[in-house]
Structure 1
Amino acid sequence: MSLADQFERAGIVAGAVLMVALPLSLALEALVGPQGPWWRLLAVLGPGFVVGWAAATDELPVSYSSVWFVCFLGYLLAVLGVRLLDLVPVGDHTGSVLGVLAVSFVVAVVADRFR
């Protein structure tokens, strides 16, 4: 494996960690509050590492661009929905924020299918 391929895989893992962390940070803040437990960072970054590793080794059933698109659009739609519905602070509206996040991701997945 060439050095360029190794850097590409490292970039895929790093990008997935960041993209998956966006919506997970909103969900975790709704569930445990802004001053969460010590494992909060692992809970936000760990799933992205797993997704990124699977994408870098071609073991993910979807493309890396789909992961990026769905996570980013889903997060933007969720933040917009939380702001429009005035669900701030999110810790006080846990169920509603998680519902908005779920609907946002359904919309993002449908948009990715038609992209």
Structure 2
Amino acid sequence: MSLPRRLEQTGIVLGSVLMLSLSITVFTPLLVENPQLWQTALLVYSPGLVVGILIAFDKFPVSYHQVWAFSIVSWLATVALWMVFDVESVTTDQSTAIGTWLVALLVGALVAWVNPKTQWRRSNA
């Protein structure tokens, strides 16, 4: 495997880790009662690591562009909905925060599904 291809795969994995962590970071206080750094990192970054590896090796039916679209749109929708519903703290307004977060994830998934751009596929180079 060529060096440019390996670097591209590394970038896909790192980008997926960073982008997919946007949606999860706000809920770490709810997921772990007294979160330590390694627990928080595992919860926040492992979904992106798994998805990034699968996309880099063509084992997942979504493109890298769809991961970015989903992450950015769902994060922006979460922020907008929390402003509309006046969610000040995830721990005090749990039901509103989780409900609006789930709606935002659905909006992000819909945008990523409707506008897939091009499917990322490995070249035979």
Counterpart position of 1:102: 102
Question: Could you list the runs of 4 or more consecutive aligned residues of structure 1 that deviate by over 6 angstroms after TM superposition?
Answer: none
Unaligned stretches of 5+ residues in structure 1: none
Larger RCO, structures 1/2 (Cα 8 Å, 6+ apart): 1
**Cα deviation 1:57-114 (Å, max 9, x = unaligned):** 1111111111111111001100111122111112211221111111111112222233
Counterpart position of 2:19: 19
TM alignment of 1:57-72, pairs within 5 A: 57-72=57-72
TM alignment of 1:1-115, pairs within 5 A: 1-29=1-29, 31-32=30-31, 36-38=34-36, 39-115=39-115
Distance 1:12 1:36 in 2: 32
**Cα deviation 1:13-57 (Å, max 9, x = unaligned):** 00000011000112324x258x84111111101111111101101
Number of residue pairs the alignment of both structures matches: 113
Percentage identity across aligned positions? Answer: 32
**How does the TM-score come out when normalised to structure 2?**
0.82
Q: 1:78 and 1:36, CA in 2 relative to 1: closer, same or farther beyond 3 A?
A: farther
Which of the two has higher C-alpha Rg? 2
Query: Which amino acid in 2 is paired with 1:48?
Result: G
Query: Which amino acid in 1 is paired with 2:50?
Result: V
Unaligned stretches of 5+ residues in structure 2: 116-125
Bigger helix fraction: 1
Kept after mapping to 2: 8 A contact 1:32/1:91: no
